Structure 1
Amino acid sequence: MKKHIPNLITTGNLLCGCLAIVKAFEGDLAIACYLLIIASALDFLDGFAARMLNVSGGIGKDLDSLSDMISFGLAPGLILYQYVKVLNQNQPVELLTQYPWLMYIAFIIPVFSSFRLAKFNNDTRQSTTFYGLPTPANANFFIFCILLYLFPDLPMVIDVSGIVQPIVSNPLIILGFGVVFSFLLVAEIPMFALKFKSMKWADNKLPFSFVLLWLGLLIFTNIAAMPIIVIIYVVWSIIAHYFLSPNKQVTN
């Protein structure tokens, strides 16, 4: 029975992704984003459960990738497309009004996510180290940018809304992030995997450090913590790869 537990959690991830797509079509972007946050939690839990239960092999890896393609590829691409449409309707941008097909750039996310996940399934290097930005991190960057726009008056100990709001409310900037982050999905840049081997600090110093950093940012900047921590994750990985240890993998 225990071998099926991770797969059941994975199907919950898939279901949330499907429902997020429905909500995006209905124009309920907030609920769509909430569903992908739940999907992200389930995506973390299925891997954690598999490691704790010592379950591996079978259909788990393929099922996980297929679920991630829906929840962190197709769903965020569609949500981003709908979001950019809303932004352009509220404050029309001449370029997007003249060339509305540019909004389809949002679908570069599912395209590159498919390559990212296929690469992961066939790359034996990616156990404790990812090569390229993980799809859940990419999806959560955009999810929380959208939520920051939808809820601009959230209380913050350190008020970063003056910096954040002009960024998240500009459709061209958001689409630009979509292009840059899509290329990061398939970039040959080692990025550490947020996988906990156990609950011991000694075994998981880097993941625990990033979780603590994220919690600190959450306390001071509310949900702006997620886009910030994703950017820190990317920048740290690039610096570690190109400047600190260019010939070594980033590991735990």
Structure 2
Amino acid sequence: MKKYIPNLITLLNVFCGCVATVFAVSNQLEMAALFVFLGIFFDFFDGLAARVLNVQSELGVQLDSLADMITSGLVPGIVMFQLLGMSTSGGWNASDGAVFSFDGISGLLPFLGFLITLGSAYRLAKFNIDENQVSSFVGLPTPANALLILSLPLILLYQNNDALNDIILNEWFLIFMTVLSTYLLNANIELFALKFKTWSFKDNALRYIFLIVSAVLLLTLKFLAVPFIIVFYVVASLISNLGTSKS
């Protein structure tokens, strides 16, 4: 019976991704973000459950990637689609519903957001055949990328800052974020994984520092902290890699 527990948790991630997709398509981006967060929560604990119960399987690996494709691949693409649509419609309101219309170039621009979905699919496919990504990742993991993209509508909703709103709803900023996101997903950059083999601070100093800094940023900056956390994650990994190569 215990061998089914991790896969059941993964299927909860799939369910959250499906619900998030419905909300994202309806332009209810706050609810979409909530279910993506729940899905990522289940994504973290399915692997943990498999290791604790010692029931890791190839089926679980494949199922996990399929779940990530929905929750952390499809949904961010739809969210960026909606944001790009808002940027060309001249305003933003979470209750307006989908803003897409076939109106020249501005009507086609939102489809650029699905580059994130394509990049996520490619990244997950590479991950499934790469046996080296155990204690670290190559490229930004799809859940981290999903948090980055989903933070944008939450900043609009909760930061209440006109300057930030103008930046986020600028179509060139959103195009830049789309291209950057797609690149980071597949960049040849080794990033540390939040997997603890022991609880020793010496063995996990970088992970503990990252978690502490992330907590402080979230408490002080709220959702605006998420982009800074992702930047810190990448920079800290690069610095750690330099230190490892020198030693």
**TM class by smaller structure:** 0.7 to 0.9
The aligned amino acid for 2:105 is: Y
1:133 aligned partner: 140
1:17 aligns with 2:52: no
Partner Cα separation in structure 1 for residue 200 and residue 239 of structure 2: 27
Report the CA distance shift for 1:214/1:163 in structure 2 as closer, same or farther (over 3 A). farther
Residue in structure 2 matched with residue 176 of structure 1 by the alignment: 176
Q: Structure 2: which 5+ runs fail to align?
A: 93-102
| Percent identity of equivalent pairs | 39
Matched, 1:38 2:38: yes
**2:137 counterpart SS class:** strand
Of the structure 1 ranges 60-69 and 17-26, higher mean CA displacement relative to structure 2 is found in: 17-26
> Structure 1 245/203 Cα, relative in aligned 2: closer, same or farther at 3 Å?
closer
Letter in structure 2 aligned against 1:150: L
Measured in 2, the distance between the counterparts of 1:18 and 1:187 equals 28
Q: Equivalences for 1:1-252 in 2 at 5 Å?
A: 1-91=1-91, 99-100=105-106, 101-153=108-160, 161=161, 164-241=164-241, 243-246=242-245
RMSD of aligned alpha carbons = 2.3
- Determine the structure 2 residue equivalent to 1:158: none
TM-score (norm 1): 0.85
In structure 1, distance between residues paired with 2:209 and 2:30: 30
What is the rounded CA distance, in whole Å, between the counterparts of 1:98 and 1:152 in structure 2? 33
Give the Å deviation of 1:180: 1.2
- What's the secondary structure of 1:130's corresponding residue? strand
Q: Per-residue deviation at 1:98?
A: 5.6
Amino acid corresponding to residue 113 of structure 1 in structure 2: S
Change (3 A) 1:31 1:193: same
1:240 positional shift: 4.1
User: Does the C-alpha gap of structure 1 residues 12 and 199 become closer, same or farther in structure 2, counting only changes over 3 Å?
Assistant: farther
Aligned length: 237
Secondary structure at the residue paired with 1:55?
coil
Deviation at 1:207, TM superposition (A): 2.0
Structure 1, 205-214 or 74-83: larger mean CA deviation: 205-214
Contact kept, 8 Å, 1:87 with 1:169, in 2: the verdict is yes
**Counterparts of 2:21 and 2:237, CA distance in 1:** 31
**Aligned in 2, Cα 1:200/1:245: closer, same or farther, shift over 3 Å?**
closer
Structure 1 residues 152 and 169: CA distance shift in structure 2, 3 A: farther
Q: How far off is 1:245 after superposition?
A: 4.4
> How far 1:56 sits from its partner (Å)?
0.9
Whole-angstrom distance in 2 between the partners of 1:28 and 1:244: 44
SS in 2 for 1:191: strand
Q: Report the Cα offset of residue 217 of structure 1.
A: 0.7
Deviation at 1:85, TM superposition (A): 1.0
Structure 1 residue 191, shift from structure 2 partner: 0.4
Structure 1 position 246, deviation (Å): 4.9
The alpha-carbon distance between structure 1 residues 85 and 162, as it changes in their structure 2 partners (threshold 3 A), is closer
5+ residue gaps, structure 1, are 154-160
The answer to whether the 8 Å contact 2:6/2:47 transfers is yes
TM-score normalised per structure 2? 0.87
